[in-house]
Each structure stands twice: as structure tokens, then as C-alpha cells.
Amino acid sequence: MKIMKGYMEASFDSYCGLECAICEHKISQTCGGCIATKGKPFHGSCEIAECAQKRNRRFCGECEEFPCEILERYSYDKEHGDNGKRIERCKTLKANMVSKARENIDPVGFCGHHCDFCFLEQWCGGCRSEYNCCSFATLFEDGICPNVSCATEKGISGCYDCPDLQECEKGFFETESGCSTKAKALFIKNNGKDCYANTLRKAMETGESFEKAFNEAKSVESAYKMLKTYMYDND
């Protein structure tokens, strides 16, 4: 996960989502908070803080396993828990960060995926934003998707502008859903982003299992034909 250092950092003051500013222990125990004390609040070492530091996550809401067993155990502890309030706060913090990151950002990713129709919509700012939490990008050591790197190096806005798109097998195009991803890029190349967004919206609104069938397409051609089925005039 590639995240700009300091991005929205003032919006949270604990790893788990507890609001330190109103915690009863802040004054009574002169607690500095788990982030400020680097994982050692008034009661000593914290399992959640240690986990977040080990995973290089600034708070639990940024973890791909959120909410994990450890966080839920702490949050729903009968004696010291808060019945899930810290988990909900993490969700709210993350959603606000993503919303801010996506302001005035092109929702169409470099590879052709559309952020508005992605299962990570509420958790990722998108590959064009400063808060890129793309799950595919995390597979690479530098946290950058090969499609992003390639398009950036070529000075193009996305794979859909590349003359080598049809034969390309980089990044997303070599995954299990590579056929559907390339079909999206080709659809943008031939019909434009506005038509692409409207077509996806119409497909999702049918109530049919479009997404599953589309992602399981066995060829670029079959996936492209599925998109064209829902294509309509923007006028």
C-alpha cells in the first residue's frame, strides 16, 4: 500500500480507533496515547499497536484484514471493550480519508478499472490519488501496479491510450480476471470514458449477476461483447 507520509495523519490519534481526546485515562493515568507513545500507553505494551507497527499501518482501518480477530476481541471485551465503537470509528475515519482523496480525481484507473464500481470503493482513493490502497498494488514490493508504472513511463493517461494494448500482458492483464480488465481498457479506447461509465452503471443496475459473469469471462472478446450488450447512447 503506497500512502503519502503525513496524509490525513491528524484525523486519528490511536491505532484501534479509540478517541484519545475523550478517554477517561488520558488525564487520570496521564496517558499520552498509543500512537504518541509508540505503542506503549499507560498500561504498557498494546497488542494492537504492536500489530499495526509490524504491518506498517498507521491505524487499523488501513489494514487489509480489518476488522481482524485481535481488534474485535479488544472492542467487544466485556470488561474493557466498547461494543464495537472503535471499529465503527475506524470505518468512518477511513471513509472520510478516501472521500477527500478522491476529490477531483479521475475515477478511471490506469488499467481501465472504474473506482466507482470497485469493491474497494469505500476503502481506496484510487491509483491516481495520494491515498492509493489498491489490493493488487500491494502484491509488489514498491506498492505500485505495473500498469501504473508502464503508463507513467510512456507518458499516457492509461493503458487504453497505448498502441500495444491488444497484445499486452503486464500487471492486471496477466491475472485471472485479465480478460475482463483488458476488455474494459479496449472499451474505453473505442468508446470513451463517459460511455464506459454509463455502460457499467447500466450493467450494474440490471440486478443480474453481471459482475461475476464478466470477471469470469474466458476471453477478451467475450468480455467485450458483454459490455457492448449494455452500451447505450449518452444522448
Residue whose C-alpha is closest to residue 52's, from 40, 62, 42: 62
Does residue 234 have a pLDDT over 70?
A: no
Which of helix, strand or coil describes residue 3? strand
Which of helix, strand or coil describes residue 208? coil
Q: Long-range CB contacts (< 8 A, 24+ apart) of 140-144?
A: 142/2, 143/1, 143/2, 144/2
Q: Is 10 exposed, middle or buried (0-12, 13-18, 19+ CB in 10 A)?
A: exposed
Helix (H) / strand (E) element for 26: namely helix 25-28
Q: Tell me the pLDDT tens digit for each residue of 188-213.
A: 999 999 999 999 999 988 867 888 88
- Count of beta carbons in the 10 Å neighbourhood of residue 200: 20
Q: Tell me the pLDDT tens digit for each residue of 91-131.
A: 999 988 888 888 999 999 999 999 998 887 778 888 998 88
Which of helix, strand or coil describes residue 135? coil
Q: What predicted TM-score, i.e. pTM, was given to this entire model?
A: 0.75
CB half-sphere exposure, 181, CA atoms < 13 A: 22
Mean pLDDT of 16-24: 84
Cell of 117: 464500481
Confidence of residue 232 (pLDDT cuts 50, 70, 90): low
